[in-house]
A and B are shown apart, each in its own frame.
Chain A
């Protein structure tokens, strides 16, 4: 899979990238959104296209033109700042949420120190004292790079498996 020019995926490298994604999930699940922003590169591309139901065998059902997120670091910063106000009612009282990140695969890219990372996510959320447990699941396709000592997420495409979302809103980051 690796070409001659790419950096080999060592166990150490893999551990570092897995740690990055685990740290990210920890920040998101504990309301440490400003710390989370620090894990994102300044040139971040953060997307979440819709899934479509299409006829045909192996039709590409990731939407080309409709999205839930089309974000930059700047726009995510605005979203995060809002969560630190007193009146973002969707998160005040705070929901309780977990990001379960699994099936992580790291792949090197040619002529670059960046790596492709694919992971699965299972997101669960509990709100107030309601009995419903909300969930969402899917795949994330990331590009990560090391800037100095710090691993950063450079690009993320979140692909949900539902075409109709069943969480009552999408105030979460995935």
Chain B
């Protein structure tokens, strides 16, 4: 556990600086903080597991991770999605190591205990002969993930049985999920398995990079300006609104200098627009018709981007979700899903997929440059000056953009606190506040008891 005296002071100082729009740099990759984060943030909040289209039929399963907890997500015979700890109850062995598949029973390769789709222990090799009659198989079923729920096809899990329900946790973000995921009849579908790779980064930095920081676009992705794909205007990713919602979530609704994208409805086929109108409220439709890029996040570690991508005149829209799985203070395993409207024409889906591969994911030309900056942050984060908890070296990061000087836009039609620019650190500051709230819970209480 963390050292009490210094840390109490350090935490007070941390809060003081955060209230001034500053974020002490020592916390980014501090190993003790990392352990606290796993416990108090990832052990308590909802995390993304899969999209419903990844589990089409009874018996379909995928294996996932909630940081270090292995998850087996299956569709049972009744069509319900069930989440189990992917670990045999006998000796803890990882039960299923495949990425996905379809099965009726899961059998552990160690001693042969087997489970059905409802997690019930249905087979023990030589059962009664070795365990006798007194062993009750019903006590040895797979352990269920305390909470599993979905919204607009997005399945989340939570390890805390006392945590608020998913819909309450998502709050106003649901309204934006309704646009991103609910605009088309039949919703969205995932293509294939998510791409996975290990980036050199801290999860807080990657989550912030996506959810809260359109300001980086003009420099990190300057190569697109040099190629003539993006505008020269350094403010180009700043037009639109940054919207802060509850619990550290947020979304940027990026338009353009004129207040709307150069193509309506993100370059989707015109034949789909009446369907969007039908499925959305007038306010949601208004936003969708004008947006260039939606980019945001669900705290702690799910981010999304819905851009218009295209070179050489072909413009396509797709939805990319990514989960940042922390695997250490300086490493993130990125899981990257491509989603597209089920109702879109097949050739559009294919072209949008190619557009995705060209822009995001490990081979995406935009994301490649992001990985460089993420790495450069963690590579310098171990120094004494950075790690000084008393902040003697002004070792605080700057989140002053728009701080106390940009007022919310009351005319914005959607929910959340909407600022009339996306070049603002409002979502970042909200993420930090949420981080602090979660991480300091019970910590100061313990101090008081002592």
Contact = CB atoms under 8 A, between A and B. Distances in A.
Interface stretch (B8-16, B193-201, B262-270, B430-438): B193-201
What's the dominant secondary structure at chain B's contact region? Answer: mixed
Interface in B191-230: 191-200, 219-220, 222-227
Contacts of B103: 55
A87 B193 contact: no
Interface in A63-122: 63-71, 74-75, 78-79, 81-82, 85-90
B358 A66 contact: no
A89 B358 contact: no
Given A52-B99, A53-B99, A78 B311 contact: yes
Given A66-B191, A87-B226, A165 B369 contact: no
* Centre residue among A71, A87, A168 by max chain B CB count within 10 A: A168
Nearest to B333: A164
A68 B311 CA distance: 18
B361 interface: yes
Given A70-B353, A165-B196, A166-B198, A81 B371 contact: no
Interface residues of A, number: 37
B362 A169 contact: yes
Contact of B369 (A65, A90, A167): A90
Contacts of B38: none
B369 A89 contact: yes
Interface stretch (B78-86, B166-174, B372-380, B394-402): B372-380
20 contacts: A53-B97, A53-B98, A53-B99, A63-B192, A65-B191, A66-B195, A67-B353, A68-B363, A78-B227, A78-B358, A85-B222, A87-B223, A87-B369, A88-B223, A89-B223, A89-B369, A166-B198, A169-B371, A170-B197, A170-B368
Contacts of B382: none
A86 B197 CA distance: 26
A48 B197 CA distance: 14
Interface string A136-171: 000000000000000000000000000111111111
A21 interface: no
B372 A89 contact: yes
B347 to A, nearest CB: 14
B368 A169 contact: yes
A48 B193 CA distance: 14
A169 B109 CA distance: 35
Contacts of A69: 357, 363
Interface of A: 48, 50, 52-55, 63-71, 74-75, 78-79, 81-82, 85-90, 130, 163-171
Interface string B269-311: 0000000000000000000000000000000000000000001
B354 A75 contact: yes
Nearest to A87: B222
* Centre residue among A71, A79, A82 by max chain B CB count within 10 A: A82
Given A54-B101, A63-B192, A165-B197, 17 more contacts: A50-B195, A52-B98, A52-B99, A63-B193, A65-B191, A67-B357, A70-B354, A85-B222, A88-B368, A88-B369, A89-B372, A89-B373, A168-B198, A168-B371, A169-B367, A169-B372, A170-B197
A130 B98 CA distance: 34
A161 to B, nearest CB: 14
A42 to B, nearest CB: 15
A13 B247 CA distance: 65
A54 B357 contact: no
Given A66-B195, A78-B358, A168 B375 contact: yes
